[in-house]
Amino acid sequence: MVSPISIHAPPPEAGCFKPVRRSDELPIDSSRLEAIVAAYSNSPHYLVQILHAVQAAYQCIPPAAQVYLADALGFTPAQVQGVVSFYGFFYETPRQYQVLFADNIIEHFQGKAVLMQHLLDRLGVKVGEVRADGRVCVDNTACIGMSDQGPAALVNGLVVTRLTAARIEQMADLIEAQTPLSAWPADWFTVESTIQQRHFLLSTPFEPGSALRVMQQKGADGTLGELAQAAIRGCGGAGFRLDSKWTICRNTPADTRYVVCNADEGEPGTFKDRVLLQEYADLVFEGMTVCAGVIGARQGFLYLRGEYAYLLDALRAKLAQRRAAGLLGTAILGQAGFDFEIEIHLGAGAYICGAETALIESLEGHRGVPRKRPPPFPVNVGYLGKPTVVNNVETLALAAKALVVGSERFIALGTAQSRGTKLLSISGDCSRPGIYEFPYGVSIRTVLEACGADPTTVQLVQNAGPAGLSLSPAEFDRLICYEDVNTTGALMIFNHQRPLIEVTQNFADFFVHESCGFCTPCRVGTSLVSRLVSKIRHGQGSTADLEELRMLSALIKTTSHCGLGMTATNHIQDSLKKFPAVFQTRLHEERPLHPCFDLDAALSEAQQLRTHASSC
């Protein structure tokens, strides 16, 4: 169950804060910090990476360290604290163990809440609080990309999958015994790549360097021509043509250009990029290198979501391998002047950084607040103001693959406007969750049958995460392609046993948690929506509240600053239209036209405010 929220009463911490004291200091070893900063060339743009390193060293980011970093990097301490407090994975009070449970609705239906409560009880600690002895903090986080093998959690940043009551019991013991993570059962940290169906992209092995050799042979123009033939569209959601993006970037006059691979796969229920990076990293890096060759970039970044930190070592080893093989670094494939390096930047728990301008802000060491709506686009003004191609992991992999296999085979698949194949992350009520590669144009029904979900038992398929499209059974013959059901590659399946109001509440709360807070409609509106859903869910809503939900949904969608706000209420609008019973059956029937009054609830709110005031 979603944690109960009383009607009207805001979560105690909403909008509540205290002045930030920078004087309660832990002993800080400045030489240690100096070494960390030096490892990142004393550059302020690496602030988020530096904060990761500081947290690894001190089990938190101590205020005194923030003062040091500010001084060393040219920020004010308040600015550094602004970055620390923006990202969900950074904290200022030390703890030996940080356990973050994935809070996606899929994990809820897998029994996450009970497991989490069990751990909290065993450790004698409340959600989000650090235990008095500094041992542990247990909290929630948004989907960590493990819906096919949940319930899952992050322990000190590393993924633990397939949680069970027995694992939780043992985890509590390990934490109490202060056992280092390296001595925890190794199989807990296994992340499986459950590839259920392979096609164009995943079916044949990829030989590293093969796409680069095609590029070398065809030249930059020929390569762009081939990619234009393939008509690859970006897999991040917008569907912008890859060749157009690269061409615009290439033609923008500049002394420096950048390639960024967006691996901040944050749409709840999506895990295709995780599998690509785990199993097909060469394809992705090769796609980036091809892009660099075409647009003339010497530097690339893989922006890896913090949840996938477990992939770091393997990815770095892969980069080293490619360097050794002459596929990265200076004079790639022996071609003088073809120099390109790839760095991995680790995100830190912020869904908004999947939005390309927020990602760029984060890469530059800032809070992940999206820039004003384009123009200018990042292909013209991107990282450090230079032309930057930002492509999704899958898009870059497709580019490399299409070059090797040839565009003819690619465009033979799919539909007129959506060529080739699409990776789908499938989770929820089906017998075979995992990754499915289908040509575009496949129907929802075919996908359901392939993954072992009987379409007659399914009441909702949520496409492309909470920001996407909610599909009712009447729509199961719709097709996955840009002409019809546009997808980022996630399908969450819910059968008739699932209470959809819980799905709605979970999605609404997700946006409260992930709104960056910059603009009014998204910052405040998402909280108002969450409270209204909660009110209806508790049987206290009226028809007027439904109207209010409609109004807020339209308002947030229309007036928000960025794509997060513009899509945050899609699920509400879809539910109101396609699943009206979700709300209607819970309205207070006795007085359908008036908000009802519940004396106990009203008093409990006052009580909560009183305790809240005394504690804050």
Partner 1 sequence: MATEQTIILDGQPVPFQAGQTIMDAALAAGIYIPHLCHNPEFKPHGSCRVCVVDIDGRTLSACTTKAAAGQQIACNTPTLNDHRRAITQMLFVEGNHVCPGCEKSGACQLQAVAYYLEMLGPRFPHFYPSRPVDASHPTVLIDFNRCILCELCVRASDQVDGKQVFSVGGRGINTHITINSPSGLLGDSTLDIHDKAVDVCPVGAILKKHRGYAAPIGQRLYDLQAIDVVGDVALVQEAEHDA
Residues that bind partner 1 (CB under 8 A): 8, 10, 13-23, 76-79, 81-82, 85-88, 350, 367, 372-373, 512-521, 523-528, 531, 551-552, 555, 558-561, 609, 612-613, 616
Name residue, tokens 């209420």: 569
Residue 542 beta carbon to partner 1: minimum distance, rounded to whole angstroms: 13
- Residue 270 or 560 with smaller CB distance to partner 1: 560
- Residue 172 or 566 with smaller CB distance to partner 1: 566
Residue 352 beta carbon to partner 1: minimum distance, rounded to whole angstroms: 9
Decide if 350 contacts 370 (C-beta within 8 A). no
Q: What angle separates helix 500-514 from helix 570-578, to the nearest 10 degrees?
A: 160
- Residue 22 or 198 with smaller CB distance to partner 1: 22
Residue 368 beta carbon to partner 1: minimum distance, rounded to whole angstroms: 9
Give the count of beta carbons closer than 10 Å to the beta carbon of residue 10. 17
- Residue 404 or 524 with smaller CB distance to partner 1: 524
- Residue 81 or 216 with smaller CB distance to partner 1: 81
Residue 487 beta carbon to partner 1: minimum distance, rounded to whole angstroms: 24
- Residue 8 or 496 with smaller CB distance to partner 1: 8
Residue 71 beta carbon to partner 1: minimum distance, rounded to whole angstroms: 12
Sign of the dihedral defined by the CA atoms of residues 433, 436, 441, 442, in that order: negative
Which residues partner with 443 through β-bridges?
A: 479
Q: What angle separates helix 281-295 from helix 272-279, to the nearest 10 degrees?
A: 90
- Residue 479 or 602 with smaller CB distance to partner 1: 602
Tell me how far apart the alpha carbons of residues 440 and 546 are, in angstroms, rounded to a whole number. Answer: 36
- Residue 74 or 185 with smaller CB distance to partner 1: 74
CA proximity to 263, closest of 145, 152, 180, 158: 145
Name residue, tokens 């509106």: 525
Distance of CA 174 to the CA centre of its chain: 29
Decide if 104 contacts 111 (C-beta within 8 A). no
Residue 550 beta carbon to partner 1: minimum distance, rounded to whole angstroms: 12
Decide if 460 contacts 503 (C-beta within 8 A). yes
Decide if 291 contacts 297 (C-beta within 8 A). yes
Tell me how far apart the alpha carbons of residues 367 and 361 are, in angstroms, rounded to a whole number. Answer: 7
Say which amino acid occupies 35.
A
Residue 545 beta carbon to partner 1: minimum distance, rounded to whole angstroms: 11
Residue 561 beta carbon to partner 1: minimum distance, rounded to whole angstroms: 6
Residue 22 beta carbon to partner 1: minimum distance, rounded to whole angstroms: 5
Q: How many residues would you count in the chain?
A: 616
Residue 65 beta carbon to partner 1: minimum distance, rounded to whole angstroms: 14
- Residue 228 or 555 with smaller CB distance to partner 1: 555
CA distances to 42, 253, 316, 422, 505 from 49, rounded to whole Å, are 12, 30, 15, 32, 33
Tell me how far apart the alpha carbons of residues 115 and 167 are, in angstroms, rounded to a whole number. Answer: 9
> Would you state the structure tokens that stand for residue 45, as one six-digit string?
């743009």
Tell me how far apart the alpha carbons of residues 521 and 561 are, in angstroms, rounded to a whole number. Answer: 8
Which residues partner with 427 through β-bridges?
A: 492
Helix extents (H) in 415-469: 444-450
Compute and round to an integer the Cα radius of gyration of the chain: 24
- Residue 104 or 418 with smaller CB distance to partner 1: 104
Please, what is the Cα angle at 345 between 338 and 562, to 5 degrees? 105
**Coil vs helix vs strand at 41:** coil
Buried-state track 409-422, b at ≥16 Cβ within 10 A, e below 16: ebbebbbeebbbbb
- Residue 185 or 374 with smaller CB distance to partner 1: 374
What's the DSSP call for residue 107? Answer: H
Residue 75 beta carbon to partner 1: minimum distance, rounded to whole angstroms: 9
Residue 469 beta carbon to partner 1: minimum distance, rounded to whole angstroms: 21
- Residue 79 or 289 with smaller CB distance to partner 1: 79
CA proximity to 212, closest of 121, 110, 291, 104: 291
